Every structure is written in structure tokens, then in C-alpha cells.
Structure 1
Amino acid sequence: MAGVCTLTALTFLALPATGFGDGSPWWLPVGVAAALVAAAVLVVDRVATRTVSAARDLAQGALALGAGDLNVRVEPSGPRELVEAGYAFNRMAEHLVATRADERELVADLSHRLRTPLTALRLDAEALDPDDTSIGTFSEAELDRRRGIRRIRQAIATLEGEVDQLIKTTRKAATQETAPGSCDASEVVRTRMRFWSALAGDQNRPYRVTGAQLRIPVPVPRAELAAALDAVIGNVFRYTSQGTAFEVAVSRRDGYVAIRIDDAGPGVADPDRALRRGASDRGSTGLGLDIAKRVAVQANGSVSIDRARLGGASVVMLLADPEATPRQVSRFGLVGRMAREARDQAGSRRRWNWYRPADR
């Protein structure tokens, strides 16, 4: 047709002369694919290993905690969900430890509160008539009465032993499960003396508390110091007669805090034997001084028994002072200190304010 122009476009694609069928390296793409698959498998394996390891650690920690190991903790790892579960497990374990510690402290405090009425009950039972039925001739009514008195005394002794064992067990468990703590020695002395003052008033015992006005920290948990103080004061009530005066004093000097319990009783015939573990005098179980000794040793201190100014026994617990600072000692310091102590002792004899039943 006239006037019509037709254009034709041709495209040329250059191909290499070689191909898969003529000896080309066909293994190259196969190797790349295999390498990619191996890398993917390795990454998945590492991720799965971390996940399984984190889940296994969490399961083992839960089993150990359920078996009673309160010190077990897990290292949070793995995916975000398992990391959060690990932190939650550790918080739960810490909360469980704190709860157990609070419960044991409550049990120890209740045991301490039982000491005072039990001591009063035992002293009242000892004031009853003799319970011996092997010597003499008695009527049936008198035999029943004496046997009843014996049963009362035996029941009180058994209950005291149970309370002592409860305190001892609680202290041991608390020491193993919790970290070492500290407390205010003055506050513990004031608190415990509020309980013992009631029994002192019932028995007409004059008593005095000195040095417990200011804060005096000691590196001992409060429950343990209270147990030691109750044990030593309990010995005063147990082995001295009614009306015997006693004193509880707190002081700090030369890097130590001293808690001294003096009484006006007969004293201790063999102090070394009384300080030995399990030793006993006059029927004592030895638990009181044993508790005081272990508490003092825990605080890098010691316990000593001497003759008190009141005439009886003087039990001194020395505890390391955590706030003590080294000081340079003068060569005249010992003489001056001895003279100052002599003046203080002379003045204290003139200024002693004894609490008596009428003072309550």
C-alpha cells in the first residue's frame, strides 16, 4: 500500500559459548545452596541449644528450690520470655528466703516471750511442798498431792527444754539460711529487760540497766543477741534466790562492745567448767552460756565469767565494735585509764539507782 512504512526491530542476546552440558562448573551453585542450608541449620541449632539450656536451668532451679535449697539462683538467658522467667524465679526465691527468715524470727521472738512466764512458773513450782514419796508414810490424799506436784514440776521442766531446743534450732537454721546481720545492742537490752522486769518485780529483785540509752551497733542478728541475753538473765533467775539483785550494763571501749550481767548471788564455783560446751552446775543444762559464747565468737569476741561487784557472778560478752576506729595510744594512757575507771567505779557505787517493785 502506498504511504505505509513498516519498521522491524531486532534484539541480539550474546550467550557464552560454554554451558552446563559442555563441562561448566555445575557444582558451584550446588555448593552455595548447601552452604546456605548448613548455615541455617547451624543458626537454628545454636538458638535451640540456648533455649533448651535456659529451660533446663530453670527447671533444675525449680526442682532444687522445691527440695529445700533456698540458695539456688538461675542465670537468665535464652529468649526474652525465658529471661523474664529467670528474673521472676530469682525474685520468688529471694522473697521465699525473706519470708522464711521472718517466720523464724517470729518463732524465736515467741520463744523468748515464753521464757519469762515459764521461769516464773518453775520458781513457783519449786516453792511448793516436797514431792518425795519414797521416805515416810503418807495418806492416800497426801500421796496424790505429792504426785501432782511432781507431775507439775516435770511438765514445766519438759516445756522449758522444748522452748530451749526450739530457740536453738531456730538460731541454727537462721544462721545457715541468712547472711550475717547487725542490730542495736542498747535497743535489744531495753526490749528484753521490759519482759524480765515483770518477773523481777514479782520476786522483789532490785535491778539496774546502765549504758543502754545510746545506739550501740554490734555485728550480730537481733534474734541471736536477744537469745543470748535471755539465756544469761534466765540463769540469774534460775540459780539465785528471790530478792537477789542484778544489773545489766552496756558499754563500748577499745574496739569492743561489752554486755555485762552481774548478780548478787553465790557466784560460779568453776567458771572454766561453766564455759565449756555442755557443762553444767547446779543442774544447769549449760545452754545459756553456750548460746552467749557462740554469739560472741560469731562477732569476733568472747565470753568471760568473773566475780561481780555485787558479790555474785559477772558474765561479760565482748562483741567487736563495727564502728571502732584505730587510735594512737599514749604511753600514759593505761595509767590514766585505770585511774579514770577507779573514779567511775567509786562514783557508780554512790549513784546507783536500783529499780524495785515499788518503782514500777
Structure 2
Amino acid sequence: MTSIVALVFLVPLGITLQQDTRREALADAARRSAVVVGALTATADPKARQRAVAGSSDDPARRVVVHGLDLGGPGRADPKDVALAAGDRAPQVVDVAGGVVRLEPVVLGDRTAVVEVFVPDSALDAGATGTWVTLAVVAAGLVVASVVVVDRLAGRAVRSARTLVQAAMAVGDGDLGVRIEPGGPRELAEAGYAFNRMADRLVASRTDERELVADLSHRLRTPLTVLRLDADALDSDDTSVGSFSEAELDRRRTIRRIRQAIVTLEGEIDVLINTTRKTVAQEVAVGMCDASEVVRDRMVFWAALAGDQNRPHKVLGAQLRIPVPVPRAELAAALDAVLGNVFRYTPQGTAFEVAVSRRDGYVAIRIDDAGAGIANPDRALRRGASDRGSTGLGLDIARRVALQADGSVSIDRARLGGASVVMLLRDPEAAPRQVSRFGLVGRLARERETTGRRWSRSKESDG
């Protein structure tokens, strides 16, 4: 663009300078012609006229020629042009070989003479080469200077835009503590200020939301305390000493489950309150836990309930340490949500199994049952959607926990005949995978790959 602007201004300037040089050369020819014309009209002496012609130029090739008086030798102009100038009685400029001639008629008594002055091309184009070289150097200098200035201005704009993009991607990944120093062009600076205000609003909204959750959780303590006191007032749940009838054993086991559920509920509420009262900066750090340990711990609780309902159950692959990048309480809540659905929506005596495995950079926690299955898996994974009259939040809890670990949740048909819910969590100890990045397109492609991943049961290792 700068080159075009330079050409638009400098080319006409060069042409104008060249025309000025031509006009100066023709003006000099007019002055020389005027001297000779004055001499011709002032005297009729042939010698005086000859001296005037000889004094018009030191170069014989450029001396004035007077047609009609035979002074100055043969002329360069065509006789027709000479006759035309004499007839019109007006000066004319005619192109000839090697330059131009100026023909000026002069009336001498009863006849008309024509004064011819030759101007060579070298005089018409004097200094043209130097002028064009100078203009070319000026144009190149302007282009270089403009490139340097534009590069500095564009560099500031690019750096500001890149900083804004990186900050936006960081917020999209959950880092709400990112702020930028607005800079660059006015529009980008305003976008930077708007981004900082948006991030502040997000932090404030998230803090208010979690404070509200903590307050609501705290309000649950009162009815929970009443339940705990009532449970403490019940009979003993000890079945190890004494001889009891089958009905008494069932009653004491029920009392034990009630007390265990109250203790578990109190612990979950404490975790919920402590978690939601953390600051946003504290929440940025990713929690870690052992998936196998969580599965074994939660199956202690669910195995007791399964024994009371005569449910066959198995735990596979939970004997080895398998770390996952989610807090222990959240993984336990997700596991309880899925297992709770098994106990809630399948008849007593229905078998189930829990398996843990790792492969291809992911950890899979699979919960299978021998029930009727889930008719609409996509609807079951939508938050608040349920065909069983519940809140529809159980599987959504598992889905959100999986997304925190860059994984997903899928529902399929189990080997036992019922539903199979698979939670995929990123394996933090796996070797990093090389992923091609192509801006926003590559980012979306990776997100689609993650959310759409299915766990192939044919390759699963139960060990």
C-alpha cells in the first residue's frame, strides 16, 4: 500500500520536473531567437546580421539559422514547416531528428524570414536521469520507513490481541484469576478492560453461588442433628453377641444402616461446606485421589446394603493404585450417585459389578447391573431429565466429575444384561499425547474427541 502511495505522488512529480526542464530549454531557445530577430530588424547590413547569427552560439551545430536570408547554413526544419510558420506569422515548435526546432517568423520589408533555433534532446532531458534516481531513492526510503512504523504499530496490536486470546482461553479452561494489562489500539484496550470486568464478575458470581450452597448445606445440619439424636435413641445394632430371631436381626441391621447413613451424610455435608467456602484461587488447584481406594471404600458401604437385599456383586481391578485428577470427595459422590441409581431403580436381588481399569491415557470406572437397562441414554445424561420421577441429577453429577478430569460419561448395554455406566477420567501418569493444534478449529476438534469417547469393553483389562 505504501509503494502505491509513493508511486502516485512521486511519478507525477518526476514528470512535472521533466516538463519544467523542457520549458526552460525552449525558453532559452526563445531568448536566442529574440536576439537574432532584434538584430535582423535593427539593421540591413549583411555583415552585422552575420555577426548576430554567429554570436547566437559557440557550437556551430546549435547556431541560429535564418531561412529566407541564407544565414547560418542549412536548417534542420522541413521546408513545409518553415513555409507554414511564415504563412501563420506565429512561432512554432517542430520535432526533428535529435531534438526540436523553434521557428519564429520575422517581417523584413516585403518579405518574411524565419528564424530557426535547434534544441537537442540532451538539453530537453537535462538532469532527467538524476531526477528519477533521486525520486526512486526517496520512494524506497518512504517505503522502508513506513514498513518500520507499521511493523511497530502492528506488533503492538498483535501482542495485545494475542494476550487477550490467551487470557480468554485460560478463563475458558477454568483459571478465573487471569487478568491482562490493556494496551495496543483503543479498541483492543477497551476489549482488555471489558475482559477484566467480565472476569471479576465471574469470580464474584461464582463466589456468591458457592456461598449460597454452603449456607444451604449448613441449614441441613438442624434436621440432620434431629435424625442423629433419634437414631442414637434406638436400640443397639450389635448382632455379634447373643441369639436373635431373623426378624430381630433384620431390625438391628436396619438400625445400623440408618446410623451409618447419618454419619455418611454428616461427613458429606461437612465436605460440601468446606469445599464451597474455598476461595476461587484455592479452587484452581486440581485435586488428586486413588480411584481404586475410593471404589474399595465406597463398596464397603454398598456391599452391606447389597447383602441385605441379596444382590450378588463383584469388584474388579481395584487392588492396584490408580490415581485420577479429581478430589476424593467428588469421585466418591459420583460413584455413590451411580450406585444409588442401581439400588433405586433395579429390583432386590439384581446383580451388579464395579470395575476399574486404565488404558490409552484414561482411567475407566465401570458400573454394570443386571436390570432392565436405560431406554434413552442421551436423555438420562441431560441434567434434570428423568423417566423415573427423580431429580435427574445423579448421572449429571458423574458427568461433571468426569469433565473436570478431561473425560466423559457414556451409557451402554452391560454384559450382565442391564445398564453399563462408564466414567472416563484422564490418567495423570500417562505419557502426554502429541495433538496438532490449529487455533480454535483444533481446540473444538479435541473437545469433540473427548466428549464423544466411548470405552471399548472388548479391550478392557479387569486386572
Please give the TM-score of this superposition, normalised by the length of structure 2: 0.36
